[in-house]
Amino acid sequence: MSTALERGRTLAATLNPNLEKTLADRYDQAVPDFAETLIEHAYGRIYAREGLDLKTRQLITIGALTALGGQTAPQLKINIQHAQAQGASKTEIYETIMQMSLYGGLPAAINALNTANEYFADSEMAEPQA
Amino acid sequence: MSTALERGRTLAATLNPNLEKTLADRYDQAVPDFAETLIEHAYGRIYAREGLDLKTRQLITIGALTALGGQTAPQLKINIQHAQAQGASKTEIYETIMQMSLYGGLPAAINALNTANEYFADSEMAEPQA
Amino acid sequence: MSTALERGRTLAATLNPNLEKTLADRYDQAVPDFAETLIEHAYGRIYAREGLDLKTRQLITIGALTALGGQTAPQLKINIQHAQAQGASKTEIYETIMQMSLYGGLPAAINALNTANEYFADSEMAEPQA
Amino acid sequence: MSTALERGRTLAATLNPNLEKTLADRYDQAVPDFAETLIEHAYGRIYAREGLDLKTRQLITIGALTALGGQTAPQLKINIQHAQAQGASKTEIYETIMQMSLYGGLPAAINALNTANEYFADSEMAEPQA
Amino acid sequence: MSTALERGRTLAATLNPNLEKTLADRYDQAVPDFAETLIEHAYGRIYAREGLDLKTRQLITIGALTALGGQTAPQLKINIQHAQAQGASKTEIYETIMQMSLYGGLPAAINALNTANEYFADSEMAEPQA
Amino acid sequence: MSTALERGRTLAATLNPNLEKTLADRYDQAVPDFAETLIEHAYGRIYAREGLDLKTRQLITIGALTALGGQTAPQLKINIQHAQAQGASKTEIYETIMQMSLYGGLPAAINALNTANEYFADSEMAEPQA
């Protein structure tokens, strides 16, 4: 097993313990080794790099997904969850999206605000009421 | 004078004291009020917002410019300078760019690495040798 | 209150009297001042500029939203309504979209034609039958 | 009738005998001659060109639609069908999509994998069980 | 000869009498019939359509090229010239570009302003001083 | 050493024996392990996959780089060379680019034709005259 794959698995588990299995169930039949490839490369070779903390990395990803336009909604939701798992606040997430109106245009930012609103509405409904 | 414009001028001055004048000289004849509009909106209404520190904001911008592709090289250089003015290290800037290979594709990341290499080579040549 | 904000409010009211309130209800809790920022900048600083009539401005926006791809459908519908409020005909709107196949590609144009078909079907259903 | 239009009709009929009629029913009322224009240009002037076989052309189209992002899902489904009509295997189609993660980014590739999964699930359900 | 090709040639000649020949010299050896295909489709099938005047069509194209980002500079220059040939003023052209900052982002608009500045500086230098 | 890295090195060597060294010289100081990461992932995990021949893979990449717009010129030249190394003809490469006018728009295709013309002019000048 490659070291990059091991590093990727360790890191991915801190974000979402089911990530590799979810990906494998969804994509590995059509694209053999899809989940392993993604975990090794995205988490083992990129997110696991030194020199930038994981919370900042996740906010940068949210910014990029926003700037690329509304078609990345599913990935935006997953990375909002990962940003929260690294300690990013709701405010930091929304501020990241709002700033992107300057670079990806207003429609891209509004699409991402809608996705974030939807994500937080769903996740807050799922939480137990104390 | 609008409060947003005042806030924008104060913030822009901390990044580059000549920013508004440079923009005005270049664009205001063809597009009246271009510089004022940009300073008011981008710096007074977006970067001056609370809830996210300026260094993180600048790294997010570098990420977005990278993900949008190689045609943003002039803006990337300006924002690398602004990121350094907010305390971002060379490593944090390069790590931000490298991470974007996952979202904007490898060619976008490589184009931005080339731009950053060029920026740092130029800025290091311009520094006095102690 | 800034002059740009006043100009923006006046102009936005001619396109859709509820625009600022709708935006505020949807986004201001998560992103304080979102509606005010958008009205001030997009309408007060951009659409209110001299030198180009509002009907042409709205057709240009429809063209850009089409060229940027199908992910801008919600914004496309709003701007089709704004174009009609400025006197653009259904034909001018469809011709703008069709032309964009040259610049944003055929899929982008077809996605926008689908959005326009949907918009006009909905808005014609909502009209009273004389 | 133009020769390009004739060539386009002949070629389109081999991919999907109803293509021109489907397009005409959907778009010609709002955009006169839409279907004829598309058949003449896309099929008569581009796909009918010599020098590259149709199966490879269809895989290249699937790659481009993937790289352009998830907003092209409707066109991706149509071109997956056309690729199969030219003899492309399911594996070749999925491999084309997977490769695009390098150029359009991982989110673009994942969106296209989801679209392909949906397309094949639907088309396999529609097939008679022997 | 197809009617669409004839219409395209007539229209293209009003914008730039050398357009087809320039395109043929540059591209037809590698891509046979490139110039004819472009003239027939872009000018004969799209710009020659009824329902939208040519000056507005050219401004919409300038908007789309701006929104798509700085990599379209060569096409932007050609279409600025075509817009002027249809009676668009320098102000209308710059206003179109400025508006696109809302949809394609500020970097895209600034890149296009730089291209327009360059175009007008070159074309004014080329004019005889009366 | 990971198996994916070994597979990547073997495959990359067939396209360009100096690829890893060139990348390492250019990028590894600023981004440690850049060259190894790219070789492992792009060549070891993607291009080395079964189910699609390398010549078709390279044409698909040329198509995607074209559709993504003119800012990918450096990567386009490298992949034109790799396509030729896998047996693709000049005609197949130009046909791939031309087809992309339908999906990435005419400006994207024209930018890529210019890049290909430049690449072939340079590479033919570099060849010994027999």
Whether the CB of E42 is below 8 Å from some CB of chain D: the reply is no
Residue B1 has what pLDDT? 47
Answer yes or no: do E91 and C51 touch at CB < 8 A.
Answer: yes
Answer yes or no: do C107 and F106 touch at CB < 8 A.
Answer: no
Query: Do D38 and D95 sit in the same domain of this protein?
Result: no
Average per-residue pLDDT for chain B = 94
Query: Do E7 and E61 sit in the same domain of this protein?
Result: no
| Segment D50-67, tens digit of pLDDT | 999 999 999 999 999 999
Q: How confident is the model at residue D1 (pLDDT cuts 50, 70, 90)?
A: very low
Cα C41 to chain centroid distance, Å, stands at 15
Mean pLDDT of A47-51: 97
Whether the CB of C106 is below 8 Å from some CB of chain D: the reply is yes
Q: How confident is the model at residue A110 (pLDDT cuts 50, 70, 90)?
A: very high
Q: How much of chain D, in percent, has pLDDT values that exceed 70?
A: 95
Whether the CB of C4 is below 8 Å from some CB of chain B: the reply is yes
Give the count of beta carbons closer than 10 Å to the beta carbon of residue F3: 11
Q: How confident is the model at residue E1 (pLDDT cuts 50, 70, 90)?
A: very low
Query: Do E84 and E30 sit in the same domain of this protein?
Result: no
- Residue in C103, C106, C107 nearest the CB of F107: C103
Q: What is the DSSP string of F65-100?
A: HHHT-GGGHHHHHHHHHHHHHTT--HHHHHHHHHHG
Query: Do E57 and E118 sit in the same domain of this protein?
Result: yes
Q: How confident is the model at residue F2 (pLDDT cuts 50, 70, 90)?
A: low
Residue F105, pLDDT > 60, answer yes
Answer yes or no: do F91 and D51 touch at CB < 8 A.
Answer: yes
Query: To the nearest whole angstrom, how far is the Cα of B91 from the nearest Cα of chain D?
Result: 23
Q: How much of chain A, in percent, has pLDDT values that exceed 90?
A: 89
Mutate to test the interface with D, among C62, C90, C101 (most CBs of D within 10 A): C101
Query: Do B44 and B58 sit in the same domain of this protein?
Result: no
Answer yes or no: do F60 and D99 touch at CB < 8 A.
Answer: yes
| Segment B22-65, tens digit of pLDDT | 999 999 999 999 999 999 999 999 999 999 999 999 999 999 99
Query: Do B91 and B67 sit in the same domain of this protein?
Result: yes
Average per-residue pLDDT for chain F = 94
Q: Of A49, A73, A89, which one is at a domain's C-terminal end? A: A49
Percentage helix, strand, coil for chain E under 3-state DSSP, each rounded to 5? 75, 0, 25
Query: To the nearest whole angstrom, how far is the Cα of A95 from the nearest Cα of chain C?
Result: 7
Mean pLDDT of F83-99: 98
How many residue pairs bridge chain C and chain F with CB atoms within 8 Å of each other?
15
Structural domain total, chain A:
2
- Contact indicator for E98, E106 with CB cutoff of 8 Å: no
Q: Which string of b and e fits F83-111 if b means at least 16 CB within 10 Å?
A: bbebebeeebbbbbbbbbbbbbbbbbbbb
Q: Which of C99, A101, E71, D5 is closest to B60 using CA atoms?
A: A101
Residue D71 has what pLDDT? 79
Query: Do E122 and E66 sit in the same domain of this protein?
Result: yes
Which 10-29 residues of chain C touch chain A by CB within 8 A? 26-27
- Residue in C2, C33, C46 nearest the CB of B2: C2
Whether the CB of A67 is below 8 Å from some CB of chain B: the reply is yes
Query: Do A41 and A22 sit in the same domain of this protein?
Result: yes
Residue B83, pLDDT > 50, answer yes
Whether the CB of F63 is below 8 Å from some CB of chain C: the reply is no
Q: How confident is the model at residue A112 (pLDDT cuts 50, 70, 90)?
A: very high
Residue of D nearest to A23 (CA): D110
Q: What's the Cα-to-Cα distance from A87 to each of A14, A49, B53, B119, D75, rounded to whole Å?
A: 12, 18, 15, 33, 39
Mutate to test the interface with E, among A68, A98, A99, A102 (most CBs of E within 10 A): A102
Residue F1, pLDDT > 50, answer no
- Residue in E3, E41, E46 nearest the CB of D45: E41
For chain B, how many helices (H) and strands (E)?
8, 0
Query: Do A23 and A60 sit in the same domain of this protein?
Result: no
Query: Residue B98 is inside which H or E element, if any?
Result: helix B90-99
Tokens encoding A27:
């994509």
Whether the CB of A96 is below 8 Å from some CB of chain B: the reply is yes
Mean pLDDT of D6-22: 95
CA distance C23 to C36: 9
Residue A45 has what pLDDT? 97
Query: To the nearest whole angstrom, how far is the Cα of E128 from the nearest Cα of chain C?
Result: 27
Q: What's the Cα-to-Cα distance from E82 to each of A71, D15, E56, E93, F56, rounded to whole Å?
A: 34, 38, 11, 11, 39
Query: Do E71 and E23 sit in the same domain of this protein?
Result: no
What is the Cβ-side half-sphere exposure of residue A58, based on CA atoms within 13 angstroms? 23
Which 109-128 residues of chain C touch chain D by CB within 8 A? 110-111, 113-114, 116-117, 120
Query: To the nearest whole angstrom, how far is the Cα of B68 from the nearest Cα of chain D?
Result: 11
Q: What is the DSSP string of A61-123?
A: HHHHHHHT-GGGHHHHHHHHHHHHHTT--HHHHHHHHHHTHHHH-HHHHHHHHHHHHHHHHHH
Task: List chain B residues with CB under 8 Å of C5.
Answer: 2
Whether the CB of D52 is below 8 Å from some CB of chain F: the reply is yes
Q: Which of D20, C70, F113 is closest to A107 using CA atoms?
A: C70
Answer yes or no: do A104 and E105 touch at CB < 8 A.
Answer: yes
Q: Which of E96, E101, E94 is closest to E69 using CA atoms?
A: E101
Tokens encoding C128:
């009273």
Answer yes or no: do B103 and D107 touch at CB < 8 A.
Answer: yes
Residues of chain C with pLDDT under 50: 1, 130
Amino acid in position F111:
N
Average per-residue pLDDT for chain A = 94
Q: How much of chain F, in percent, has pLDDT values that exceed 70?
A: 95
Residue of E nearest to F71 (CA): E71
| Segment B92-108, tens digit of pLDDT | 999 999 999 999 999 99
Query: Residue B119 is inside which H or E element, if any?
Result: helix B106-126
Residue E129 has what pLDDT? 53
| Segment E8-67, tens digit of pLDDT | 999 999 999 999 999 999 999 999 999 999 999 999 999 999 999 999 999 999 999 999
Query: To the nearest whole angstrom, how far is the Cα of B80 from the nearest Cα of chain F?
Result: 14
- Residue in E31, E69, E71 nearest the CB of F98: E31
Crossing angle for the helix pair C106-126 and C73-85, to the nearest 10 degrees:
60
- Contact indicator for A1, A44 with CB cutoff of 8 Å: no
Whether the CB of F92 is below 8 Å from some CB of chain D: the reply is yes
Q: Is the ipTM of this complex over 0.90?
A: yes
- Contact indicator for B67, B100 with CB cutoff of 8 Å: yes
Q: Domain of residue E80: give its range.
A: 53-130
Query: Residue A59 is inside which H or E element, if any?
Result: helix A54-67
Task: List chain C residues with CB under 8 Å of A120.
Answer: 30
Residue F110 has what pLDDT? 96
| Segment E85-126, tens digit of pLDDT | 999 999 999 999 999 999 999 999 999 999 999 999 999 887
Q: Of A28, A49, A70, which one is at a domain's C-terminal end? A: A49
Q: Which chains touch D (3 or more CB pairs under 8 A)?
A: A, B, C, E, F
| Segment E74-89, tens digit of pLDDT | 999 999 999 999 999 9
Query: Do B65 and B39 sit in the same domain of this protein?
Result: no
What is the Cβ-side half-sphere exposure of residue F121, based on CA atoms within 13 angstroms? 9
Task: List chain B residues with CB under 8 Å of C48.
Answer: none
Mean pLDDT of A90-109: 97
Q: Which chains touch E (3 or more CB pairs under 8 A)?
A: A, B, C, D, F
Residue D5, pLDDT > 90, answer yes
Query: Do F62 and F13 sit in the same domain of this protein?
Result: no
Residue A128 has what pLDDT? 63
CATH number at B126 reads: 1.20.1290.10
| Segment F25-82, tens digit of pLDDT | 999 999 999 999 999 999 999 999 999 999 999 999 999 999 998 678 999 999 999 9
Task: List chain E residues with CB under 8 Å of B62.
Answer: none
Q: How confident is the model at residue A72 (pLDDT cuts 50, 70, 90)?
A: confident
Residue F124 has what pLDDT? 84
Q: How confident is the model at residue A98 (pLDDT cuts 50, 70, 90)?
A: very high
Task: List chain F residues with CB under 8 Å of C106.
Answer: 102-103
Answer yes or no: do F95 and D49 touch at CB < 8 A.
Answer: yes
- Residue in A27, A34, A75 nearest the CB of D107: A75
Residue D3 has what pLDDT? 86
